[in-house]
Structure 1
Amino acid sequence: MTEFSLLPDTARIGRTALLVTDLNGMIDFYRDVVGLSVLTRHETTAMLGVGDTPLLDLQRDENASPRGHDQAGLFHNAFKVPSRAALGAALERIREHGQLDGASDHYVSEALYCTDPEDNGIEIYTDRPRAEWPRTSDGTIRIGTVPLDLDDVVAQSDGSADAPAGTTVGHVHLEVSSIDATREFYVETLGLTVQTEAQSALFLAAGDYHHHLGTNAWNGRSQPAGGRGIAWFEFVVPDDETLATVRRRLADADVAVGDRTDSLELTDPDGISIRIRAA
């Protein structure tokens, strides 16, 4: 951890949570398309993941309204799979059970895009080898967008109906109301590194990953997050000692923090909840 960083270089994304109205329909989609398994299920909640690793918390509120067109919130949850064979299988599942919205080679990764039944964006991607990631003169990572050869991807499919072991939430991408406020909070306060900066967008990381957090102001959102969509997402740090250090540094920086049973909770400038817990 650098002297001025609140989050350590070893932090990563853990679980994300969505507020939904049709719990059964959303469970079916994330099982059939993303390939997640139902780990726990109750009347109004379900936890989905891979193996015994939870990745997605679905929380039902039948009265939740759709997110307004002017509200900040989720651009996409990005599920990282460990191989091109798994990416090919995901493409087959999307084609069979959903609809492919797009596909890109981002230089650092290869990605597929789709949308769940309640209009939450989803990315399923696999990383290129780290040694192949292009870098700028200052050492930060360059992320780009060029077409992805889908025929080549699907030809390598292993045909699996399930996301394999090693699947994680690699990053979260948010729609924000202000790039300046986002930079001040996530970079200047939390200490994430700007890896790539594009027009009205920042791609941020703890340590040397290409990005754990994407943020953009492309669609002119002007109001705080609300309605259906992202309820919270979390950063995971290695251990309780690191979490205690993060807690102290947040207090020193005068960042308001709430305590949960297993985590800290804070709120970004658009009202999106962030949790920080120990692995």
Structure 2
Amino acid sequence: MTNMAIDHVALTVRDLLGMADFYERALGLKPQGGDDATRRLGTADRTLIELRHDAAARPRDPRQAGLFHTAFLLPERADLGRWLRHAPDQDIRLTGASDHGVSEALYLDDPEGNGIEIYWDRPPSEWTRDGDRIEMFTHRLDLTELSQASPGEWQGVPQDGSIGHVHLQVGDIDRADAFFRGDLGLTRTFDGPGGAWYGWNGYHHQLAGNVWNSRDARPRDPQMTGLAEIVLNAPDRAGQVLHDPWGTRFAMI
């Protein structure tokens, strides 16, 4: 087994206060501290997102390699339904909603164009496996049923919420595969047109890469907003820093 998991994600942002307000108000993340240059947000005692201010950063190019979405994993289906009812009150426009078999997911963008997924997992005993492979699909999600099956009010991301996975834009699937499997020790769990999904320790995926917008992308511009780094909880490799072929930084703690 690989002793590694996603700890948190860091984003470079132009509007630090506005972005921090969005993640507090829209997602219900709690302030974890910071200063004039950074804001950390998460659950009561765990950082999930770190925002790093750079007023001079250029707006992200959706065709570049980098972040496709950060996925916030909620512990219960009812949590997802409560957030769904909360979204209209915050003028949040969903960009998608899908049943993936292993999970149910809602999609949106933050004010600077960073993709967000909010999801819950069905029990692993209900996932369809074939060796290391895990079946996933994209079917329509019944939003009315999800909302009606979830009593109570949204109170923010629960204490045991986490970054379940990060989906990346890459320039080439084969080069990404060599990095994910070779450098990070992930197992390839699923393939779809233009994308591949990877997990540690039997999970459907902690990381994925696609070329849907970024085929043949060059290394990303570090002076651009968007993904600054993915921080991995990896005690056996603490202190190591890796970069994928497009410059996406992985820091291990």
Superposition TM-score tier, normalisation by shorter sequence: over 0.9
Residue number in structure 2 paired with 1:247: none
- When residues 69 and 104 of structure 1 are mapped into structure 2, their CA distance, relative to the original with a 3 A threshold, is closer
Do the aligned residues in 1 keep the contact of 2:132 with 2:187 (CA within 8 Å)?
Answer: no
Residue number in structure 1 paired with 2:250: 274
Residue number in structure 2 paired with 1:204: 198
Percent identity, please: 40
TM-score by length of 2: 0.94
Of 10, 16, 21, 2:9 maps to 16
Do the aligned residues in 1 keep the contact of 2:194 with 2:210 (CA within 8 Å)?
Answer: yes
Of 205, 219, 232, 1:224 maps to 219
The secondary structure found in structure 2 opposite 1:34 is coil
Matched, 1:146 2:122: no
Of 139, 161, 165, 2:159 maps to 165
One-letter identity of the residue aligned with 2:53:
R
Deviations along 1:66-92, one digit per CA (max 9) or x if unpaired, are: 122431110000000001111112212
The secondary structure found in structure 2 opposite 1:160 is coil
Aligned CA-pair RMSD = 1.4
Cα distance in structure 1, aligned partners of 2:133 and 2:73: 21
Deviations along 1:156-215, one digit per CA (max 9) or x if unpaired, are: 143123111110000000000111110111113332100001111010011200000011
Residue number in structure 2 paired with 1:59: 52
User: How far did residue 32 of structure 1 move?
Assistant: 1.3
Deviations along 1:132-155, one digit per CA (max 9) or x if unpaired, are: 01123x341111110111112112
The gaps in structure 1 that reach 5 residues or longer are 2-7, 244-261
- When residues 224 and 93 of structure 1 are mapped into structure 2, their CA distance, relative to the original with a 3 A threshold, is farther
Residue number in structure 1 paired with 2:232: 235
Cα distance in structure 2, aligned partners of 1:54 and 1:220: 29
Q: Size of the alignment, in residue pairs? A: 248
Do the aligned residues in 2 keep the contact of 1:88 with 1:158 (CA within 8 Å)?
Answer: no
Cα distance in structure 2, aligned partners of 1:139 and 1:43: 45
Deviation above 4 Å: which 4+ runs of structure 1?
none
The gaps in structure 2 that reach 5 residues or longer are none
Matched, 1:105 2:99: yes
TM-score by length of 1: 0.85
